[in-house]
Structure 1
C-alpha cells in the first residue's frame, strides 16, 4: 500500500511541475507569437495554472487579485515616487553636471568605471530608457577623450550601468519588482544590491577592457565614425533659461536624490544591526525616503524652472510609471498562484540544503525566460515568483533568490530588446559592436554577479 501511495504522490508532483512548465511556455508563446501584451499573458498564465492545478475558479481568481493587490501595496508608491523623482532630476540637468564632476574628479582613465557605477547606482531612480537617452550623448562625446578603445569601454559601461542597476539597485524598477515579489525588506535589497551591482560592473568592465585590447574589439568594424545624435530628447534649460532662470548647481539639484538614498541606506543598516526607534523606522522607510526626496526635488524645480517644465516632468513620470506598475502587479498575480498551488512544498523534497544548486536553478530559469521573451524585468519577476516560495524552506534568504533571478535575467540581451537597439543607435557602435558591448558584456555580468551572490548567501 505504501509504495502505491508514494507512486501516486510522485505522479501528482509531476503533474504540478508539468503544469507550471506549460504555464511558463504558454506565457512566452502568447507574448512572442500571438503578440499579446505581457500583462495580459501573465494573467492568462496564472488563470490556467490555478484552474488545472485544482484551485478552482473562485480560489484562482482570489490568488490573482490578492497577488496583484498585495504587490501593489508593497511597491506601488515606491515605483511611482522613484520614477517621478527621476523625471525631475532629468529636468534639472543633474546628470550632465554629475558626469562633468566625475571627469574632473577621477580623470579620463577611470571614467568608464565611475560612469558605469554611477548610472548603475545613484541614477537608478530615472526610468531606464530616459536615462539611456540622456546619458548616451555624453558617453559618446567622452569616448573620444579617454584614449585607445574609449568607445568600446564607454559603450560597455553604459550597457552595464543601465542593465545591472535595473535589477539590483533600488529604486531601479526591476529591483523594486523583485523585492515586492519576494516580500523583501527594501533596505536589505538596497544594501546587498548595491554591493552586487558595483562588484559586477567594475569586474565585468575590467574583463571587457582586457579582451578588447586583445582583439575582441575591432574599431574599424565595431565603431561608427560619426557620433550619434539623440533625437526628440528634451534638452535642459540653459543657464539663464527660458524665463531668465538657470539650472541650479549640482549640489542643489542632486541633493534630494542623495538624501533619499542616504535615508534608505541608513534605515537598512539600522535594521541589520538591530537599532530601532519610531523616527528611524519612519525616515528609513524607502517610501517615506523617496517621498522626502520627491518633495525636495519639486521645491528645487519650482524655484529654478518654468512652471510648465516642472509640470511636463511630472506628466512624463506618471506616463512612465503606469506601464511599470501594471506589469509588476500581474507578476505578483502569477507568483501568488504558484505559491497557492503548493509548488514550494513539492520542490523542497528535490533539493538538498545546499544554497548553490537552488540559486543556480533560479538563475537558469530567469536566463531561459529572458532569452525567450527579451524582457529583463518580466523574466526576473517570473523566475522569482515561480521558484521563490521554495527557497525559505531550504534556509536560503529570499534576498539572494531575488538577486539570482535578476542576474539570470541579464543573460543574452539581444535583438528582441528595445534597450539593445537604443544602445546601438545612440552610441558610436555598429550592430556588430553592440553584440560585443551589450550582448556579450552583459551576459558576462550575468555570470559574474553570481559570485558575490553565492558568497553572500553562504556567509549570511
Structure 2
C-alpha cells in the first residue's frame, strides 16, 4: 500500500471522529472506537484483525498506566478532601502578594496538583481564581485565566503525574523518574515564560474587558461541583490538618518517584531502591498516608466518599484514554508509523520538530490534548529508537505538540470560558492563543536541551 493511501484513510477516519463528536453528538469514546474500526477495515486489515488491534491497543495502554492513573486520581481526591489547595493558595497570597500570584498559581496547577483529575481541578480552582482576578490589579481577570489555562494544559502532557505525561512515558518506555526530572523544570519554565509574554501583551491593550469578559456570574453549579469533589466540605471538618500535613502525601509520592531518577544518574542500584522508587509504590504510599491523615482529622465516612468519587472519575478517564490507545494501535498497523519513520529518516536535521508537528496536526484534527498525545506516541513508539535524541525528549516534544491550538472541540476550553466569566473571544485569547504559545515555547526549550545533551 502506497504512502498516500494510509494518509488519506487516516485523515478520513479522524474527520469522521470529529464529525461524530461535534455534529452527531456521539460519545467521544464510542466515536474513537468507530474511527479505529473504520480505519483498520478500509486499509485492508480485515474485521477480525482490526478488532484484535482495538482490544490490544486499549489493554496495552491501560496495562502501562492504568493503575498509576487510578492511584493518582485517588490521591488527588483525598488531597481535595483535606483542603490542601485552599490553604496553599492562601499562604502564597500572603507570601508573594498579588503581583506574583498568577505565576505561582499556574506552576502549582502544572506540577504538583496534577494528581487531581483535570476537570475536577478546574472546577475546584475556578471560583478561587475568579475571586483572585480582581485582587491582582489591571488585567487581573485575563492574567489569572491565562494562568489557569496554561497551568492545567501544560501539566497534563509535560509534568509527572499529568495523565498525558504518564501515557507518553509508558508508550515510549521512558522511566517516570526521568520524565519527572526533565518534565518538571520544563513545565515550570514554559509556564513562567508564557505568563510573562501574555502579561506584557495585556499591558499593551491585548485584553479588552468590554469585549472579552462576560458580565454574567459564574454558573451556579460550580459550588455544588466543588462540594462534590471535596467530601469534607459537604460533611464539615472536625479538625482541619495544617498545610504541611495536608501536603505530606503529595510530597512523599513525588520524592519516592524522583528517587528513581537520581539513583539512576548516580548509578546506585539496589532492590530496595528499585521498589521504593517505583511510581506505583510512590503513589500507593501517598494514598495510604492521605487516608491515615483524613481518618484522623476528617469526619467519619469522608474517606469512603472520596474513594467513591475517585473511582467514578478514574473509570471515565480510563475508558477515554484506553480508546485513544486503540486508535494509535490501528494507525500503527496500517503503516502510518513507517511513513513517519521514512519522513524522519529523510529529515534528521530536526527530528524533534517533526515529532512536534505530528502531535500538533493530530490535535488540530482530534481536538483532545491527551488523545492526540497518546496517538502521536503510539505512532512514534517504533520510530523513537532510530531518532538521534533521548527518548524522554521525544515524549516531551509529542506532549508539547499536542498542546497546539486548543479550540472549540475541547471541553476544557468551554469550561474555562464559562467558569471564568469570559466571552468566546476572550477564551480564544486566554486559552487557544496562550496554550499555543506555551506549545511553541516548550518546543524551543526541548530543542535547546537536545543540543546541550
Same-fold call, TM > 0.5? yes
Distance 1:317 1:152 in 2: 31
Q: CA deviation at 1:32?
A: 3.4
Question: For 2:284 and 2:400, how far apart are their aligned partners in 1?
Answer: 29
* Structure 2 residue corresponding to 1:391, chosen from 360, 375, 384: 384
Tell me the residue number matched to 1:314. Answer: 307
Q: For residues 315 and 356 of structure 1, do their structure 2 counterparts lie closer, same or farther at Cα, with a shift above 3 Å needed? A: farther
Relative to 1, partners in 2 of residues 1:19 and 1:103: Cα closer, same or farther, differing over 3 Å?
same
CA distance in 1 between counterparts of 2:14 and 2:379 reads 9
C-alpha distance in 2 between matches for 1:346 and 1:426: 42
Q: CA deviation at 1:133?
A: 1.3
Q: Please, which of 95, 106, 120 is the counterpart of residue 105 of structure 1?
A: 95
Tell which deviates more after alignment, 86-95 or 174-183: 174-183
Which structure 1 residue ranges, 5 or more long, are not aligned? 1-10
The alignment partner of 1:307 has SS state of: coil
Q: Which has the larger radius of gyration?
A: 1
Report the CA distance shift for 1:104/1:335 in structure 2 as closer, same or farther (over 3 A). same
Residue-by-residue CA offset, 1:272-292 (whole Å, 9 max, x unaligned)? 343221111111111110000
The residue aligned with 1:443 is 436
Specify the alignment match of 1:290 in structure 2: 283
2:297 corresponds to which residue? 304
Q: What's 1:374 paired with?
A: 367
RMSD, aligned α-carbons: 2.6
Q: Shift of the alpha carbon at 1:243?
A: 6.7
Q: Which residue among 225, 237, 253 is the counterpart of 1:233?
A: 225
Deviations 1:36-68 (A, max 9, x none): 333233333433444444545554444333322
Quote the Cα distance in structure 2 between the aligned partners of 1:244 and 1:180: 38
Identify which of 104, 123, 136 aligns with 1:114: 104
1:267 paired residue number: 260
Task: Please say if 1:28 is aligned against 2:18.
Answer: yes
Residue 188 of structure 2 is aligned to residue 198 of structure 1: yes
2:319 counterpart residue number: 326
How far off its partner does 1:381 sit?
1.4
Structure-2 residue corresponding to 1:256: 249
Which of these residues, 119, 131, 144, is aligned with residue 134 of structure 2? 144
TM-score, normalised to structure 2's length? Answer: 0.90
In the alignment, the residues of structure 2 paired with residue 410 and residue 212 of structure 1 have an alpha-carbon distance, to the nearest angstrom, of 22
In the TM superposition, 1:30-429 aligns within 5 A as 30-224=20-214, 228=218, 230-235=222-227, 245-352=238-345, 357-429=350-422
Query: 1:102 touches 1:114 (CA, 8 Å); kept in 2?
Result: yes
CA 1:193 to 1:246, structure 2 compared with 1: closer, same or farther past 3 Å? same
Partners of 1:432 and 1:349 in 2: CA distance: 40
Structure 1 residue 271, shift from structure 2 partner: 2.2
Q: Which runs of 5+ in 2 are unaligned?
A: none
Cα distance, 1:169 vs structure 2: 1.4
Q: Distance in 1 between matches of 2:422 and 2:350?
A: 38
C-alpha displacement of 1:78: 0.1
Query: 2-side partners of 1:397 and 1:339: how far apart?
Result: 21
How much has 1:442 moved relative to structure 2?
1.2
